[in-house]
Structure 1
Amino acid sequence: MKFSLSVTMAVLLGSTAAFAQTADLPQQGNEWFTSAQETLQQLVERQENTNRALNVILFVADGNGVGTNYATRLFEGQQQGGLGDDHNLPQDEFPYSALVKTYSANGQTPDSAPTATAMNSGIKTKNDLINVTDNVAVGDCAAGLENGVRTFAEIVSDMDKSVGVISTARITHATPAAVYARTADRDFEDDTLIPEGCEQDDIALQLYQQMENGVIDLAMGGGRRHFITTDTTDAEDSAGVREDSQNLAQMAVDNLSASYVQTQEEFDALDLTAEGPILGLFEPSHMQYEADRSGEPSLAEMTTAAIEKLSQNDNGYYLEVEAGRVDHANHAGNAARVLTDGVAFAEAIRVADEMTDDADTLIIVTSDHEHAIAFNGYCGRGSDILGLCMQVNGDGIEALDEPNMASDALPYTVIGYLNGAGSVLVEQIPDEAETSAATDVDTGEASPEAGAPIYSGDRSAIADADVTDIDYLQQALIPMSSETHSGEDVAVYAKGPWAHLFDGTIEQNVIFHVMHHAATAGEATSN
């Protein structure tokens, strides 16, 4: 203790001297300088929280890496009338952060199954596997049944905590499924998708079973079709897909006294004090994008309801909240919907932060992976993040009213993608007479075979496009029907008990270990 106190005093005295030395600097009155001094003071005064975490909330914006987070920051800031880049999302203001390596056991670029497994079970595994070890071949049901791991939800349930999972994707999709399921293939969402001879239960059935086991107390998202049978219609008159005669939604009501809701009206009428779990299934497949949302709750509304429900347990809770459609809009190359859902994610974080106490609640904000999103330069400040890259203003701060031009004399958007449906390379089928399989003597490259498709670039459409339109697809390079994930690092932001353990660059599975440590170490707080 004496050593720790002396170290603390040395730091404080050193920082005081540092502040004093700035009095002689000519830049001391500059607003950037004074703002940085205020930040430094906050860092010096920061105190580590080593309480035991009563509650753990894990926020995952699927596909929301550092780049996508940056774009969302500018988008929200510009919506509020600012230039955007100096704006902060709620997670940007969390005191602790780290970079996270997202590769899987067999993939330099992962999908959401192994990344969600890393966060919920503490191990890395192969692409397409959920909560089974990496010595299982994808689709090997027998091996999957023998090599399952124990999840954080099951661990804290044994501590008498409540557990909830929310997603704007199907609740049986990879990221939410990792809270409660084990599967040799992420695609086994209902009984019709289980191959013949496979004895593994499908993912929707496993959610029902985990409710029955008392592990899952609340689940909200899309994916209704996987829970009801082909002879059952839902609130939208859509039939289910199950062929095993098990209407899991109705079974939850009949057998578990669950509250089952499908619409905004039913959600609004929920009795959050009622006994039994809550099952909210608001779409046959994924929930709507926030820009198109109608007749179903927002991510912030579901988060609010979940915290109100789960916090009734004096022993605390674990809640995972996924903004699943950030990923889907990135796959589509549709930046406007990416950022609209990103702002909805930020609002869910804000309400959770307001409803909880830093003294006893660990809040973690992260992503499972990034996408092949990119940002063009050199854009002046205030360039619309969904618009064209405008010229830097040498005489002032805000960008000029003139776009930058590429070598083809055409403007370009701030956001682009390395690959995707918005590719500027247009497929053409050449005449046989115009092509051969011979090697080009000038380039040393093989020419395409006769009749094979070739691609040529064409960016001319951008001249007349409304690039800020909600349906606009950002220009991409490599032609693909669906833009791909990226293997680069994502960020993790944290506050609350043991949040200071997030530091430096970490493996993704370390997130589980910090959550587990926070929930079991330190001293419990008295409220």
Structure 2
Amino acid sequence: MTKIILAGVALVLSASVSLAQEVTPQTGDRWYQDGQNTLTEKLARQPNTGRARNIILMISDGNGIATNYATRLFLGQKNGGFGDEAVLPQEKFPYLALVKTYNVNAQTAGSAGSGTALHSGVKTSLGVVGVGEGLRRGDCSQVEANKVKSIVSILDEMGKSVGVISTARLTDATPATAYAHSANRTFEDDSKLPEKCGVKDIADQLLDALKAGTVDIAMGGGRRHFLPKEVTDFEGEAGRRTDGRNLMDEARAAGARVVRDDVEFAALSVSDSAPVLGLFESDHMKYEYDRRAEPSLAEMVGASIKRLQGNENGFFLSVESGRIDHANHDGNLYRALTDGVAFADAVSKAVELTSAQDTLIIVTADHSSALAFNGYCGRGSPITGLCYKINKTGVKHLDTPARAKDGKPYTVAGYLNGKSSVLTKDENFSGSRPVVTQQQASDPDYLQQALIPLSAETHSGADVAVYARGPWAHLLDGTIEQNFIFHVMKYAAEVE
């Protein structure tokens, strides 16, 4: 009887679909056909409930939904299209959700609290690293009692290899939350530690993690926090440490391969099992637009996966594109988007080198930014340029800039706050909104017009997206708390 009922339901559904197709006049429309193809793909989708041998967490710092959309337009327009039809590699993943990013004491999140949520499964306060919400920021005496265990430590204990990559300083907030515990994200070296702190600085904790084998690969910027202030590096930049220790030398003495530029990076052997410490800049790594003698994010991801995947127990890789956030803070949309494309390249590299059968890849952001879109722009308006009028008789925009009530053109995107506020009176701004030309707006150094005058653009409290593929990726759906992402990773690795 049950089989008969099910067969009848299937017949009714099949007939309903056929009838709908027969009576719908737009079946020949390309958008309609695209929708039908997408429906077919989704109907065929089956959740992967196997164990995740490998997990890759990719964090695009400050890459909220608006910046993600702008990056899509930028990539598509670079490839000769209108932009909005482009698809970023993470947007091809089958599962996604919206993520609430707030910290426990902040409606708008900071990277340290968000990174702790992602890596350790708990929400915590603004500015603290790898500790719970019971700690008062800056109080070293409370660190031990409030330590939380990160996914790095958990998966290391399962025998997996671990890598931590960032285009920011390795000791900066987001990457630090993968391996460190600190009362303040600013304690990157000992020069900022309070007297009698009793807790090691973040760079020293990374050295310990490399020595212990908890972290096998660490690559990014931040060389200055590993060198004493009396020492200048090969680029002439002085260290920051006041304890006289050269942590780069100590890492070498412990058997690590320490690399400083793209040449030394390229010389790394995939078969070498020694830990790797890559420190490619004194401060943050260069923006992708300005990159010269250092590896790209995609290159670091590729080399790390190839080096880590030799472990039969699998690996965990935490990847941060840290400088999208910094460009947004500066109001420099062009560099935010070129770094966004570099992040997309890194996602593609991770997809290329792994299988969805045994590798869970999660792509998300730690928080959003205050980027906003202006006006009714015609299709194809350059994302880093002026907003052009809509063409009522064709698809591509008219070659006429849209104008605001002040009679002046405006850009497709701008910031709600920041250093380029149109309300600021100084040598650059007369008190009225300055005129901007297409040539000015499209310059890589152009800073977008902003509204509220602040020393730098701020984060935004808006939700971010998470995209996932691989084992148990289907658990990431709906609207979730940011710390839930950790729990999916942990479950996917431990499930029998």
User: What TM-score do the two structures reach when normalised by structure 2?
Assistant: 0.96
Tell me if structure 2 keeps the 8 A contact 1:410–1:463: no
Gaps of 5+ in 1: 430-454, 523-527
Q: What whole-Å deviation, never above 9, does each CA across 1:304-356 have from its counterpart, x for those lacking one? A: 00001110111001101100000000000000000000000000000110100
Aligned to 1:109: 108
Task: Summarize the Cα distance change of 1:172–1:4 in structure 2 as closer, same or farther, 3 Å threshold.
Answer: farther
| Runs (4+) off by over 6 Å | 2-9
Of residues 460, 470, 488, the one that matches 1:496 is 470
Output the CA distance in 1 between the equivalents of 2:100 and 2:476: 13
Tell me if structure 2 keeps the 8 A contact 1:141–1:183: yes
Q: Secondary structure at the match of 1:100?
A: strand
Aligned to 2:389: 391
User: What is the Cα deviation at residue 457 of structure 1?
Assistant: 4.1
The reply on whether 1:60 has 2:34 as its aligned counterpart is no
Tell me if structure 2 keeps the 8 A contact 1:235–1:263: no
Aligned to 1:246: 245
Task: Summarize the Cα distance change of 1:488–1:7 in structure 2 as closer, same or farther, 3 Å threshold.
Answer: farther
Aligned to 1:353: 351
Task: Summarize the Cα distance change of 1:218–1:12 in structure 2 as closer, same or farther, 3 Å threshold.
Answer: farther
Q: What whole-Å deviation, never above 9, does each CA across 1:378-433 have from its counterpart, x for those lacking one? A: 0111000111111111101111111111000111000110101111112379xxxx
User: What is the Cα deviation at residue 466 of structure 1?
Assistant: 1.3
Aligned to 1:26: 25
Task: Summarize the Cα distance change of 1:230–1:397 in structure 2 as closer, same or farther, 3 Å threshold.
Answer: same
Q: Secondary structure at the match of 2:435?
A: helix
Aligned to 1:381: 379
Task: Summarize the Cα distance change of 1:390–1:11 in structure 2 as closer, same or farther, 3 Å threshold.
Answer: farther
Output the CA distance in 2 between the equivalents of 1:254 and 1:324: 29
Aligned to 2:491: 517
Gaps of 5+ in 2: none
Aligned to 2:192: 193
User: What is the Cα deviation at residue 463 of structure 1?
Assistant: 4.5
Q: Secondary structure at the match of 2:436?
A: helix
Q: Secondary structure at the match of 1:82?
A: coil
Deviates more, 1:227-236 or 1:146-155: 227-236
Output the CA distance in 2 between the equivalents of 1:343 and 1:286: 18
User: What is the Cα deviation at residue 52 of structure 1?
Assistant: 0.2
Aligned to 2:89: 90
Aligned to 1:265: 263
Q: What whole-Å deviation, never above 9, does each CA across 1:13-33 have from its counterpart, x for those lacking one? A: 736742552122110000000
Q: Secondary structure at the match of 1:427?
A: coil
Task: Summarize the Cα distance change of 1:11–1:147 in structure 2 as closer, same or farther, 3 Å threshold.
Answer: farther
Output the CA distance in 1 between the equivalents of 2:129 and 2:312: 30
Q: What whole-Å deviation, never above 9, does each CA across 1:131-189 have from its counterpart, x for those lacking one? A: 11111110010011221011100000000000100000000000000110011100000
**What RMSD over aligned residues (CA atoms) do the two structures have, in Å?**
2.0
User: What is the Cα deviation at residue 3 of structure 1?
Assistant: 9.1
Q: Amino acid of the residue matched to residue 127 of structure 1?
A: L
Q: What whole-Å deviation, never above 9, does each CA across 1:440-485 have from its counterpart, x for those lacking one? A: xxxxxxxxxxxxxxx9742233148610100000000011111000
Output the CA distance in 2 between the equivalents of 1:285 and 1:362: 31
Tell me if structure 1 keeps the 8 A contact 2:113–2:123: yes
- Share of identical aligned residues, percent? 53
Task: Summarize the Cα distance change of 1:12–1:401 in structure 2 as closer, same or farther, 3 Å threshold.
Answer: farther
Question: Residues 323-334 of structure 1 correspond to what in structure 2 (within 5 A)?
Answer: 323-334=321-332
User: What is the Cα deviation at residue 46 of structure 1?
Assistant: 0.4
Q: Amino acid of the residue matched to residue 353 of structure 1?
A: V
Output the CA distance in 2 between the equivalents of 1:74 and 1:490: 18
Q: Secondary structure at the match of 1:362?
A: strand
Task: Summarize the Cα distance change of 1:7–1:488 in structure 2 as closer, same or farther, 3 Å threshold.
Answer: farther
Output the CA distance in 2 between the equivalents of 1:82 and 1:492: 26
Output the CA distance in 2 between the equivalents of 1:332 and 1:137: 30
Q: Secondary structure at the match of 1:462?
A: coil
The reply on whether 1:73 has 2:72 as its aligned counterpart is yes
Task: Summarize the Cα distance change of 1:390–1:157 in structure 2 as closer, same or farther, 3 Å threshold.
Answer: same
User: What is the Cα deviation at residue 237 of structure 1?
Assistant: 2.6
Aligned to 1:147: 146
User: What is the Cα deviation at residue 121 of structure 1?
Assistant: 0.4
Output the CA distance in 2 between the equivalents of 1:102 and 1:499: 19
Output the CA distance in 1 between the equivalents of 2:167 and 2:3: 46
User: What is the Cα deviation at residue 238 of structure 1?
Assistant: 2.0
Question: Residues 296-315 of structure 1 correspond to what in structure 2 (within 5 A)?
Answer: 296-315=294-313
Task: Summarize the Cα distance change of 1:79–1:416 in structure 2 as closer, same or farther, 3 Å threshold.
Answer: same
Q: Secondary structure at the match of 2:441?
A: coil
Task: Summarize the Cα distance change of 1:514–1:392 in structure 2 as closer, same or farther, 3 Å threshold.
Answer: same
Output the CA distance in 2 between the equivalents of 1:8 and 1:410: 65
Question: Residues 83-482 of structure 1 correspond to what in structure 2 (within 5 A)?
Answer: 83-255=82-254, 257-427=255-425, 457-463=431-437, 466-482=440-456
User: What is the Cα deviation at residue 198 of structure 1?
Assistant: 1.0
Task: Summarize the Cα distance change of 1:101–1:503 in structure 2 as closer, same or farther, 3 Å threshold.
Answer: same
Structure with max Cα Rg: 1
Task: Summarize the Cα distance change of 1:11–1:287 in structure 2 as closer, same or farther, 3 Å threshold.
Answer: farther
